[in-house]
């Protein structure tokens, strides 16, 4: 009797454990995506907008750390603060006034820079309507199994975001671009984050499914800057992205943190503005959506039942033997330039030019000879 009781308890435990495993597996595969992409855009130029470049590079650094490779990131920076002559520490962009975290790093790959960052190029990247000559690094090669993170920062207003202080994109244009992406099966789920003044106005017109949006401020509110640095004379970051970066620093690839935790980033006591979010278009419960579903990368795993010995030495390729002798192919480099001709050719003779001051000295000599011969009274014959 005791044995039957123990067996029943043990079977019940196994049944409950199997249910938990199935639930975890179901939650793991519930997103349905197989790859991740990120489009990160800074729309502001000029040195006083240093913080917008730092915002974008902070998110860029976080998504790379969590596994999204550069081949799946489209980075658009309207200005190069790292190489600006006002930067006291060239090749660096810092997000904190104590200069602890250099978000520029050593391996930044900027896909669109300077005047390439336009409304047209941004919309073409999203919709895939790029010229055939556009390289792969400048394309968003997503599909219907892709989760896409889109981050925008810059100066904006009620229903628009400025690009380089010369043009602007409206919330209607952005909503239509996302609808084109959905119709063309360019995403599975999309997370939109914007850090700008009146940022919530940019997602009011969204109508495409499987889309979640976050903003740093409500309509009528300003998105404020953070961390002023007296050494360079500008603010280093915006408040919302600063606390977003702090939040992401605690995330690791196996983290179970969900989107509801992201919604709590930078409350009004810290941001001064009121962050907003929209989830009515998203089909899943935000509580079941992991942060790494958008900020991380899917790891492809192939299961095999075969035993693979990783300690065997690599066998060298046997060379072909012809008539009992080993034949080795000889290779040589093709000359890319006529080097021998360039080395032995005679230097081209330069055209002769008079030395500096020669013409002035010549005219001075002519005037002296004239005054010596005729005097000042004959000067009227010259003028």
**Which sequence positions are flagged as catalytic?**
155, 197
Q: How far apart are CA 235 and CA 192, in angstroms?
A: 24
- Secondary structure of residue 263 in the 3-state scheme: helix
Helix, strand, coil % in the chain, rounded to nearest 5: 35, 15, 45
Strand partners, 156: 161
271 vs 220: CA distance, rounded Å: 15
Could you tell me which of 109, 111, 82, 110 has the C-alpha nearest to residue 94? 82
**Separation between Cα atoms, residue 214 and residue 74, nearest integer Å:** 20
Residue 27: strand, helix, or coil: helix
Mark 3-28 as b/e (b = at least 16 C-beta within 10 Å). Answer: eeeeeeeeeeeeeeeeeeeeeeeeee
């Amino acid at each position: 009797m005791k044995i039957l009781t123990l067996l029943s308890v043990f079977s019940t435990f196994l049944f409950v454990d199997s249910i938990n495993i199935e639930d975890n597996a179901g939650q793991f595969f519930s997103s349905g995506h197989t790859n991740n992409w990120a489009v990160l855009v800074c729309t502001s130029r000029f040195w006083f907008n240093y913080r917008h470049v730092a915002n974008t590079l902070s998110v860029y650094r976080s998504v790379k750390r969590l596994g999204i490779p550069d081949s799946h990131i489209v980075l658009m920076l309207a200005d190069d603060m790292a190489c600006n002559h006002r930067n006291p520490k060239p090749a660096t962009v810092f997000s904190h006034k104590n200069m602890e975290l250099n978000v520029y790093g050593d391996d930044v790959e900027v896909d669109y820079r300077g005047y390439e960052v336009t409304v047209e190029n941004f919309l073409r990247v999203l919709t895939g309507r790029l010229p055939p000559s556009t390289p792969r690094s400048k394309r968003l090669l997503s599909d219907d199994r892709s989760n896409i993170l889109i981050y925008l920062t810059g100066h904006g207003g009620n229903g628009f975001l400025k690009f380089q202080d010369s043009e602007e994109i409206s919330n209607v244009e952005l909503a239509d671009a996302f609808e084109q992406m959905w119709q063309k099966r360019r995403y599975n789920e999309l997370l939109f984050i914007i850090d700008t003044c009146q940022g919530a106005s940019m997602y009011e017109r969204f109508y495409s499914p499987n889309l979640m949006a976050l903003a740093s401020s409500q309509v009528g509110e300003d998105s404020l800057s953070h961390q002023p640095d007296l050494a360079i004379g500008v603010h280093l970051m915006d408040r919302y992205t600063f606390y977003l970066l702090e939040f992401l620093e605690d995330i690791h690839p196996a983290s179970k943190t969900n989107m509801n935790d992201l919604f709590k980033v930078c409350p009004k006591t810290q941001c001064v503005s009121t962050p907003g979010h929209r989830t009515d278009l998203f089909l899943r419960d935000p509580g079941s959506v992991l942060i790494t579903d958008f900020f991380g990368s899917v790891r492809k795993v192939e299961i095999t039942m075969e035993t693979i010995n990783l300690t065997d030495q690599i066998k060298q390729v046997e060379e072909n033997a012809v008539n009992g002798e080993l034949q080795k192919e000889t290779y040589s480099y093709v000359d890319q330039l006529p080097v021998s001709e360039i080395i032995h050719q005679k230097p081209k003779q330069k055209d002769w030019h008079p030395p500096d001051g020669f013409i002035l000295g010549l005219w001075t000599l002519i005037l002296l000879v004239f005054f010596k011969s005729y005097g000042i009274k004959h000067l009227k014959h010259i003028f």
